[in-house]
A and B are shown apart, each in its own frame.
Chain A
Amino acid sequence: MAEQDLKTTGGVGARVLRKEDDRLLRGRGQFVGDVRRADMLDVAFLRSPVAHGRIVAVGKPDHAADLVFTAADLAGVRPIRADSTLPGFRGSDQWPLATGKVRHVGEPIAACVAASRAEAEDLAEAVRLEIEELPAVVDMRRARDAAAPLIHEHWAENVFLESTAVGGEPLAPLKAAAAVSATLQVRTARQSMAPIEGRGTVAEWDERLGMLTFTTGQQMPHVMRSGLAGCLGLEEGQVRLISPDVGGGFGYKGILTQEDVTLGWLAMHLGRPVRWIEDRREQLTANANCREHHYDISGYASAEGDLLAIECAAIVDAGAYSAYPFSACLEGAQVGSILPGPYDFPGFKCDTFSACTNKPGILPYRGVARTGVCFALELTMDALARQIGMEPSQFRIRNLVRPEQMPFDNIVKKHFDSGDYPEAIRQAEAAIDLAGVRLRQARPEADGRRIGIGFAIYCEQAAHGTSVYSGWGIPFVPGFEQATARLTPDGGLEVRVGAHSHGQGMETSLAQVANEVLGVPVPKVRVIHGDTSMTPYSTGTWGSRCGVMVGGAVATACEALAERAVAIGAHLLQVPAEDAAVVDGCVRSGAASVSLADIAHAWYRRPQDLPGDVDPGGLEATQGYRMAPNDHGTFSYACHACVVAVDPGLGAVEILDYVIVEDGGTLLNPLIVDGQILGGLAQGVGTALYEEMRFDASGQPLASTLADYHLPGAAEVPDARIIHMMTPSPYSRFGQKGLGEGGAIAPPAAIANAVNDALHPLGVRITESPITPERVLDAIAAASSQTKEAAE
């Protein structure tokens, strides 16, 4: 098909170029930072300089006491609460401005308002802050020590939630029968999500409408509207949330923030628009924290290579506050249920607790919990394979759920929908040339480096619905996903969705779905999103759900619209409705046809041509969609395989080759799918090799700029080859599976396994990410001193 055709047509599965790129790639996107309002004031936050302390006094500068606001000023504002009804969950009050105590460095204490950000920062500097510093809880493993200070004084211990996942047979006999076992201590670093665009909000009060409008990058506009109205004591109808173009979400733009609640109050109190644009230091040190896990994990297997049991004690460092709406246990509560991975084995137990520490609250980041879990499990799988003496990829194949078992309920009752997991490994083995790499490893490299190959496989539950979320009792539960389809009087199609597109290409892929149903050309389909006043309710963009849920909703709404169009079209054609159908943007009956544009013209402009009993609903339909017959979600999966070269003198890791075999079911738009996978891969490489937010013993973050917090750049991201398997899901509208986060899940495990494959002749096993030169060098030194000791 010619490139021009690709741009103008294309239903489900077409490789359509992204419509939104026309403005985004020309620098014409409209972001929060582009919003200008008359009389707008800038806000800077005075933030806590200590990790844990009692606020003794906040002295406003004498010359500007009316421009500085503290918790005491925010009358009527309620704290952010993100509670779960899971048994034993402890909730936290997260006040918009610190009240009584500060619990992490960077917690906002005062809002300072001025005509420019620089002047607002001058005010923040002039505030006299007196804090009595308290000992801080920094290491999650020490959080429940008797001596640990209580972060929330009324709690019994610094733990948000404890949970246990158990499945299958009793462990003791399995462990006794195992020929081999491997016990690993696995750790993943705390990271800071780093979208190019940080957070930012403009809040303005409209006296005429009695409405507070937030313009802010937001993945979940409707959920956040509920949260903002609740904290500010407004009716939800008084809050409008507009999310314009967003420069990267990744989970970070799906949070109700203290800054936004404060801005809402300021806009109402001051009667002027107020703006806060997060800077990189705030983003890195105070806000965007994610991912810190610790695992004591053991695997057991037979001599033949059958995985018998996994036993694990995991800790998630959840930070100081439970973040709205996903709560502090989004990761902790999922670790146990995800840890069995795509494998079929008889015994499983995982105890997890979410530690409360004096760090910013842990936030959901692309791949939520899965990235750490995959790291822990897949490193264990390699360790077991090595002991058995099996090729790690073959050990995986032997233990994966087999295609003939699908659909499959796994050891913790996850319902895998479809797929051929072993085939993903086999295709990856071939594409990465496992045999060739093994031959290469037999000879020393000319440059002294060591070559390693690593595999990792995961399956990703996505678009999980009501039945999964209702048990958690967090502030929202996804139900029917709605979309509105509407023909305009000139025959154009508007599609309104309450989720938000910020890199997912939904302005294109949803137009393709509409095109699939109605045949309206993709350029004539306008996807309207990002405004609570213009879209139906949605829980928004999270959990790799939009392709399945919003795609399903758009198809359902378009089908309902098609029925209305057929009724009118059949009348215009003077044929029975049951003889007519929508085909390629027309209602057809045999050789006769009338275009949707003519049908729209009749409905809107020439009602006199229509019969009296025409459906008064007109050419606009809002419909809800839920997966059937069950809503456990889809399970996309992928095998990542890579070849690395490790320099044992420098500890440097270079990725030489990278292959991804992915099964996302039916692909709505393969170009967009590849983009999603590659973007996730870049973030996964960051987790594997670069990104680490370290803290000192007093809880001070040790990186505050991108010179200290290293992100992978273009030169560090491998040119990955993607191979698609396309096993349709039996439960989604087109067989599509959610896969937006998957690219970020497997890279740390695949890369670590490759590094360990390269270095295991030296006795090295890395179990901590990121794999920095220092970690590699220290591991080599430790292994060599152990070898020496053993020799002596």
Chain B
Amino acid sequence: MKAARFDYVRAVDAADAVRCLGAGGPQTKIIAGGQSLGPMLNLRLARPDKLVDIRRAADLAAVAATADAVVYGAGITHAAFEDRLVPDATPGWLAPIARGIAYRAVRNKGTIGGSVVHADPAADWPTVLLALGAEALTLGPAGPRAAPLADFLVGPFQVALAFDHLLTGLRLPKRGPHARWGYWKFCRKTGEFAKAAAAVLHDPDRGETRAVIGAVERTPILVPDAAELLADPRAAADIVARLAPERAPAAQRLHAEALERAARLALAPQEIAA
């Protein structure tokens, strides 16, 4: 399949991209790494009138650190995280997560913002970032806004983003040396989308315990009472049965395994990656 006809413009920065979106109308879409949109264009599952390419927008690839958070530009590639070319808001957790995304060729081009906006239920970043308490930073004609990621991800392949708004970045709270983390996913083969994934965060300094069940064919599920899970990871099966009752029995078992293993990783003594 080959893409249907579309127009193409290149934005020089975030503000320019927002102007292009506004001028183009609802059928104008952003393209960043193109690792999901490219195939969708060719399969004619996506039929935009116009693409706004943000790969050359330098401000969207920038990183800004404050005392208690790091803001990652939406255009930062998975490979930049994998190669530790950007500072890590966590004690070294992000690089191994990025390394587990698809294949290197995909990671070279695919971006963290693109992954979040595409909101594939089986993708890594939505599950991980939800567990890490990230905020989505957006820019629209009326200026910038911030929203918890839980509010930004509204459904499978759906985010709360008006047609003339752009995801500019993701703000991650910094996690100190006492924080504990577990991320575990199951793929049938190397580089495939996960069949089950789960992330567990325990940050005593901030008093936060969060657990997320991903790859459930809908928005990743934020577990309401994650403390129960950390008290006994074997509670994972009950938690999955409660929160994802619609999943087939074999799938539920996989989700429970993922959640239990992520919890056990979070409870295990952790080495901070060099």
Interface residues of A (CB under 8 A from B): 116-118, 121-122, 125, 279, 281, 649-652, 690, 704-705, 707, 710, 712-713, 715-716, 772-774, 777-778, 781
Contact of B253 among A117, A704, A705, A777 (CB under 8 A): A777
The answer to the question of B1 belonging to the interface, with a C-beta cut-off of 8 Å to chain A, is yes
For residue B27, which residues in chain A have a CB less than 8 angstroms away from its CB? none
Give me 5 A-to-B residue pairs in the complex whose CB atoms sit less than 8 angstroms apart, sorted by A's number.
A118-B2, A279-B1, A712-B189, A778-B249, A781-B253
Please report the C-alpha to C-alpha distance between residue A710 and residue B251 in the assembled complex, in whole angstroms: 18
Given known contacts A121-B2, A650-B254, is B188 in contact with A715 (CB within 8 Å)?
A: no
Instruction: Beyond A281-B43, A713-B190, A715-B191, list 8 extra A-B contacts (CB 8 Å).
Output: A118-B3, A650-B254, A707-B192, A713-B191, A773-B186, A773-B254, A777-B249, A778-B250
For residue B188, which residues in chain A have a CB less than 8 angstroms away from its CB? 652, 690, 710, 772-773
B250 A774 Cβ-Cβ under 8 A: yes
For residue B39, which residues in chain A have a CB less than 8 angstroms away from its CB? 705
Given known contacts A279-B1, A650-B257, is B193 in contact with A707 (CB within 8 Å)?
A: yes
The answer to the question of B4 belonging to the interface, with a C-beta cut-off of 8 Å to chain A, is yes
A715 B190 Cβ-Cβ under 8 A: yes
A649 B253 Cβ-Cβ under 8 A: yes
| CB nearest neighbor in A for B190 | A715
B195 A773 Cβ-Cβ under 8 A: yes
The answer to the question of B5 belonging to the interface, with a C-beta cut-off of 8 Å to chain A, is yes
For residue A716, which residues in chain B have a CB less than 8 angstroms away from its CB? 189-190
A773 B250 Cβ-Cβ under 8 A: yes
For residue B253, which residues in chain A have a CB less than 8 angstroms away from its CB? 649, 651, 777, 781
B interface: dominant SS? loop
The answer to the question of B272 belonging to the interface, with a C-beta cut-off of 8 Å to chain A, is no
Quick one: which of B217-231 are within 8 Å of A by CB?
none
The answer to the question of B273 belonging to the interface, with a C-beta cut-off of 8 Å to chain A, is no
For residue A279, which residues in chain B have a CB less than 8 angstroms away from its CB? 1
For residue B248, which residues in chain A have a CB less than 8 angstroms away from its CB? 774
B 133-174 to A, binary, CB cutoff 8 A, 1 in contact else 0: 000000000000000000000000000000000000000000
Contact of A781 among B186, B189, B249 (CB under 8 A): B249
Given known contacts A118-B4, A121-B2, is B189 in contact with A650 (CB within 8 Å)?
A: no
Please report the C-alpha to C-alpha distance between residue A122 and residue B250 in the assembled complex, in whole angstroms: 42
A320 → B minimal CB distance (Å):
23
B255 → A minimal CB distance (Å):
11
Please report the C-alpha to C-alpha distance between residue A116 and residue B1 in the assembled complex, in whole angstroms: 11
For residue B2, which residues in chain A have a CB less than 8 angstroms away from its CB? 116-118, 121
For residue B4, which residues in chain A have a CB less than 8 angstroms away from its CB? 118, 121-122, 125
Please report the C-alpha to C-alpha distance between residue A121 and residue B186 in the assembled complex, in whole angstroms: 38
The 8 lowest CB-CB distance pairs between A and B, nearest first, are A118-B2, A715-B190, A777-B250, A774-B250, A649-B257, A117-B2, A716-B189, A777-B253
A705 B43 Cβ-Cβ under 8 A: yes
B31 → A minimal CB distance (Å):
17
For residue A125, which residues in chain B have a CB less than 8 angstroms away from its CB? 4, 44
Contact of B250 among A118, A652, A713, A781 (CB under 8 A): A781
B1 A281 Cβ-Cβ under 8 A: yes
Please report the C-alpha to C-alpha distance between residue A649 and residue B191 in the assembled complex, in whole angstroms: 21
Number of A-B contacts (CB under 8 A): 64
For residue B189, which residues in chain A have a CB less than 8 angstroms away from its CB? 690, 710, 712-713, 715-716
| CB nearest neighbor in B for A280 | B1
| CB nearest neighbor in A for B39 | A705
| CB nearest neighbor in A for B2 | A118
For residue A652, which residues in chain B have a CB less than 8 angstroms away from its CB? 186, 188
Please report the C-alpha to C-alpha distance between residue A690 and residue B192 in the assembled complex, in whole angstroms: 12
A39 → B minimal CB distance (Å):
20
| CB nearest neighbor in B for A779 | B250
B199 → A minimal CB distance (Å):
17
| CB nearest neighbor in B for A653 | B188
Interface size on B, residues (CB 8 A): 23
Given known contacts A281-B43, A705-B43, A781-B249, is B257 in contact with A121 (CB within 8 Å)?
A: no
For residue A774, which residues in chain B have a CB less than 8 angstroms away from its CB? 248, 250-251
Please report the C-alpha to C-alpha distance between residue A48 and residue B39 in the assembled complex, in whole angstroms: 22
B 1-16 to A, binary, CB cutoff 8 A, 1 in contact else 0: 1111100000000000
| CB nearest neighbor in A for B103 | A713
| CB nearest neighbor in A for B193 | A707
Contact of A651 among B3, B44, B192, B250 (CB under 8 A): B250
Please report the C-alpha to C-alpha distance between residue A715 and residue B249 in the assembled complex, in whole angstroms: 28
Quick one: which of B176-227 are within 8 Å of A by CB?
186, 188-193, 195
Please report the C-alpha to C-alpha distance between residue A263 and residue B5 in the assembled complex, in whole angstroms: 25
B250 A710 Cβ-Cβ under 8 A: no
- Most chain A beta-carbon contacts within 10 A, residue among B191, B248, B254: B254
Given known contacts A118-B5, A122-B4, is B254 in contact with A777 (CB within 8 Å)?
A: yes
B244 → A minimal CB distance (Å):
15
For residue A710, which residues in chain B have a CB less than 8 angstroms away from its CB? 188-189, 192
For residue B257, which residues in chain A have a CB less than 8 angstroms away from its CB? 649-650
For residue A705, which residues in chain B have a CB less than 8 angstroms away from its CB? 39, 43
For residue A715, which residues in chain B have a CB less than 8 angstroms away from its CB? 189-191
For residue A778, which residues in chain B have a CB less than 8 angstroms away from its CB? 249-250
Please report the C-alpha to C-alpha distance between residue A772 and residue B186 in the assembled complex, in whole angstroms: 13
| CB nearest neighbor in B for A122 | B4
A692 → B minimal CB distance (Å):
11
Please report the C-alpha to C-alpha distance between residue A774 and residue B257 in the assembled complex, in whole angstroms: 13
For residue B43, which residues in chain A have a CB less than 8 angstroms away from its CB? 281, 704-705
Please report the C-alpha to C-alpha distance between residue A774 and residue B190 in the assembled complex, in whole angstroms: 18
Please report the C-alpha to C-alpha distance between residue A712 and residue B3 in the assembled complex, in whole angstroms: 28
Please report the C-alpha to C-alpha distance between residue A705 and residue B192 in the assembled complex, in whole angstroms: 12
| CB nearest neighbor in A for B251 | A774
A645 → B minimal CB distance (Å):
15
Please report the C-alpha to C-alpha distance between residue A121 and residue B5 in the assembled complex, in whole angstroms: 11
Please report the C-alpha to C-alpha distance between residue A701 and residue B186 in the assembled complex, in whole angstroms: 25
Please report the C-alpha to C-alpha distance between residue A651 and residue B5 in the assembled complex, in whole angstroms: 44
B169 → A minimal CB distance (Å):
28
Please report the C-alpha to C-alpha distance between residue A686 and residue B170 in the assembled complex, in whole angstroms: 39
Quick one: which of B1-44 are within 8 Å of A by CB?
1-5, 39, 43-44
A685 → B minimal CB distance (Å):
10
- Most chain A beta-carbon contacts within 10 A, residue among B39, B43, B248, B250: B250
Please report the C-alpha to C-alpha distance between residue A122 and residue B6 in the assembled complex, in whole angstroms: 12
| CB nearest neighbor in A for B3 | A118
A768 → B minimal CB distance (Å):
14
Please report the C-alpha to C-alpha distance between residue A651 and residue B251 in the assembled complex, in whole angstroms: 11
A414 → B minimal CB distance (Å):
37
B186 A650 Cβ-Cβ under 8 A: yes
| CB nearest neighbor in B for A774 | B250
For residue B249, which residues in chain A have a CB less than 8 angstroms away from its CB? 777-778, 781
For residue A121, which residues in chain B have a CB less than 8 angstroms away from its CB? 1-2, 4, 44
For residue A116, which residues in chain B have a CB less than 8 angstroms away from its CB? 2
Please report the C-alpha to C-alpha distance between residue A704 and residue B188 in the assembled complex, in whole angstroms: 18
For residue B251, which residues in chain A have a CB less than 8 angstroms away from its CB? 774
B156 → A minimal CB distance (Å):
15
A774 → B minimal CB distance (Å):
4
A122 B5 Cβ-Cβ under 8 A: yes
B 239-273 to A, binary, CB cutoff 8 A, 1 in contact else 0: 00000000011110110010000000000000000
B264 → A minimal CB distance (Å):
12
For residue A650, which residues in chain B have a CB less than 8 angstroms away from its CB? 186, 254, 257
Please report the C-alpha to C-alpha distance between residue A773 and residue B254 in the assembled complex, in whole angstroms: 9
A493 → B minimal CB distance (Å):
43
A64 → B minimal CB distance (Å):
15
A233 → B minimal CB distance (Å):
33
For residue B192, which residues in chain A have a CB less than 8 angstroms away from its CB? 707, 710
B42 → A minimal CB distance (Å):
8
B84 → A minimal CB distance (Å):
24
A781 → B minimal CB distance (Å):
6
| CB nearest neighbor in B for A118 | B2
Please report the C-alpha to C-alpha distance between residue A712 and residue B4 in the assembled complex, in whole angstroms: 31
Please report the C-alpha to C-alpha distance between residue A125 and residue B2 in the assembled complex, in whole angstroms: 12
B271 → A minimal CB distance (Å):
19
Please report the C-alpha to C-alpha distance between residue A682 and residue B251 in the assembled complex, in whole angstroms: 27
| CB nearest neighbor in A for B249 | A781
B233 → A minimal CB distance (Å):
12
